[in-house]
Chains A and B, each alone.
Chain A
């Protein structure tokens, strides 16, 4: 993997929360723009990511609601309207489908850190909101679930989906596309909700408005790795 940040020589690495990798640095000189370029090859393949331990203490943090998944009246009412039964996996499938159908995909309607409840009360949102509502419902069912940020084959921006703990494994569910996560998904980091999983964060001193553009290209490698 290749990482370069224009104008920043001292790029450092650290391990962030929930095992995510973080790269950080600072540009001290006055500047009007900078670019972060990340490129590389990834091998995907498994839809089941990891087995959880016998004493699943670490997953409890994902079983309780977090800041952006706190249910309010609209999610609670929606939960009451679903007839959920069967195993955790079956319930997760039902929830994925129900969330997918209840929402209307509408880019540009959601603020950066909006709660699932706020978006759901409008029934409009993007992948982040679909994921938050699904997390909220899974956790109401007592199923540990976490937010995942990553990329999707061919798409123009980063994507978000959900992993739920069923039958001893973490399974990936994509409520936005109503799909199970397969080898066209590239997983970057996970957390309790989107606030834990920002692709980029930063701050600057100075008087200026800022614009941020993001571009993601994912292509299938024709050669066998």
Chain B
């Protein structure tokens, strides 16, 4: 461990040199900032990981069943388990996907499930990310550098090698590939996660592309290389959001997508990872219903618990939310990345009154949650001392011929001692996540 701490600066320098950066837009300006790495790893024991693994697989399998159902027979709605309007008014519900079955029926191939551990050691699911979850490349490359700079740390601790993520990802792409090459579709170099796109392309052997490298002809997708040669594409790991994917079906002004790719997908000629329309399942309002989904589709009780959540949409939950406003955290279901999160206690009297009016007018738009007192993890401060900070864990769950959990994850921490928000877009840092093999 001392070796790791000693080389902290070297590793951060290497990360900077390799372009491990996060781009953020603030006030309309693009700024790149380093994603600070903290050398003290989060350690997850063998048995604890086995428990998490079981719970995460179960959750992702149920979410995939839900997506297949919603864009298919909608049985869960007919059986009244989830109110219909919750599904149809979710921003991520996309009518063009209705009746479209993706290759092998898989919707969420790469799922990023955010968890926190509370002070009493129990794990809670904070949110599901089933659209374009990012972050796996950071612990991958950090591990690479650490193994070089402090090999002893890995010799004396039985840490599972996490550098297999690329192989896992490749087999997930190969599993649904409809015949042709694998590509990663990036919006381009000004995207927040461009480092990750290029790194994963390099590691999986997929071709790194932007929308203008790809064309649709006769409902097939082709990659056009620098000499103008066309090669058929069988799977697109797309790192652009649904609305920008195809200007002919979704957001018309998109210049980063591929015109007509949705038709090729609809006809089963190309796989899109993840499938468009997944936003209906990782909606913060639908989150509330995930334990019910697990029961409904798998006939099992949820292994991993949600954070205690209230839906102001239901009368008694609205009452609870108003009565306990100051101790709850309220989230706008349409926002992500740490935006649209309000702590009841942080509002002034006027802000609170305005917010309550908004809440009453649009109850469907918000969820209220108990504030979980996260377990703190130690980080190194500038002077080299250890200070506790709030941290979460993004677990990566990959669904190919079967669902697997990557034995690592992205541990993000808040650098501000008073903040619970760990998102990298809000200036947080990251740690390596060790899963022990025994």
Q: Give A residues with C-beta under 8 Å from B.
A: 10, 12, 14, 16-18, 24, 26, 55, 57, 60-61, 63-65, 76, 191-192, 196, 198, 201-203, 205
Q: A10-B218, A24-B260 are in contact. Are A16 and B96 (CB under 8 A)?
A: yes
4 additional A-B residue pairs with CB within 8 Å, beyond A57-B78, A61-B93: A12-B263, A26-B260, A192-B95, A203-B254
Q: A14-B263, A18-B95 are in contact. Are A202 and B85 (CB under 8 A)?
A: no
Taken together as a complex, chains A and B put the C-alpha atoms of A61 and B85 apart, in Å, by 7
| Closest chain B residue to A76, Cβ basis | B361
Chain B residues with CB under 8 Å of A192's CB are 95
Taken together as a complex, chains A and B put the C-alpha atoms of A67 and B85 apart, in Å, by 14
| Closest chain A residue to B84, Cβ basis | A60
Contact, CB under 8 Å: A55 / B78: yes
Find A203's partner among B84, B93, B252 (CB 8 Å cutoff).
B252
Give 18 pairs: A residue, B residue, CB < 8 Å, sorted on A.
A12-B218, A12-B219, A16-B96, A18-B95, A26-B217, A26-B259, A26-B260, A57-B77, A191-B95, A192-B95, A196-B95, A198-B252, A201-B247, A201-B248, A201-B252, A203-B248, A203-B252, A203-B259
Chain A residues with CB under 8 Å of B95's CB are 17-18, 61, 191-192, 196
Chain A residues with CB under 8 Å of B259's CB are 26, 203
Instruction: Report B250-282 CB contacts with A as 1/0, cut-off 8 Å.
Output: 001011000110010010000000000000000
Q: Is B300 an interface residue (CB 8 A)?
A: no
Contact, CB under 8 Å: A63 / B247: no
Find B263's partner among A24, A60, A198, A205 (CB 8 Å cutoff).
A24
Q: Give B residues with C-beta under 8 Å from A.
A: 74, 77-78, 84-85, 88-89, 93, 95-96, 98, 212, 216-219, 247-248, 252, 254-255, 259-260, 263, 266, 361
The 5 closest A-B pairs by CB, nearest first: A64-B89, A60-B84, A17-B95, A61-B88, A203-B247
Taken together as a complex, chains A and B put the C-alpha atoms of A55 and B84 apart, in Å, by 12
Q: A14 → chain B, closest Cβ, in Å?
A: 6
Taken together as a complex, chains A and B put the C-alpha atoms of A73 and B427 apart, in Å, by 35
Chain A residues with CB under 8 Å of B217's CB are 26
Taken together as a complex, chains A and B put the C-alpha atoms of A26 and B266 apart, in Å, by 18
Contact, CB under 8 Å: B252 / A14: no
Chain B residues with CB under 8 Å of A24's CB are 248, 260, 263
Chain B residues with CB under 8 Å of A65's CB are 89
Chain A residues with CB under 8 Å of B212's CB are 205
Chain A residues with CB under 8 Å of B74's CB are 57
Listed residue (A63, A64, A198, A202) with the most chain B CB atoms within 10 angstroms of its CB: A64
Q: A201-B247, A203-B247 are in contact. Are A63 and B219 (CB under 8 A)?
A: no
Taken together as a complex, chains A and B put the C-alpha atoms of A63 and B84 apart, in Å, by 10
Taken together as a complex, chains A and B put the C-alpha atoms of A17 and B361 apart, in Å, by 30
Find A60's partner among B85, B98, B247, B252 (CB 8 Å cutoff).
B85
Taken together as a complex, chains A and B put the C-alpha atoms of A26 and B219 apart, in Å, by 12
Taken together as a complex, chains A and B put the C-alpha atoms of A202 and B257 apart, in Å, by 12
Taken together as a complex, chains A and B put the C-alpha atoms of A160 and B191 apart, in Å, by 38
Taken together as a complex, chains A and B put the C-alpha atoms of A16 and B254 apart, in Å, by 19
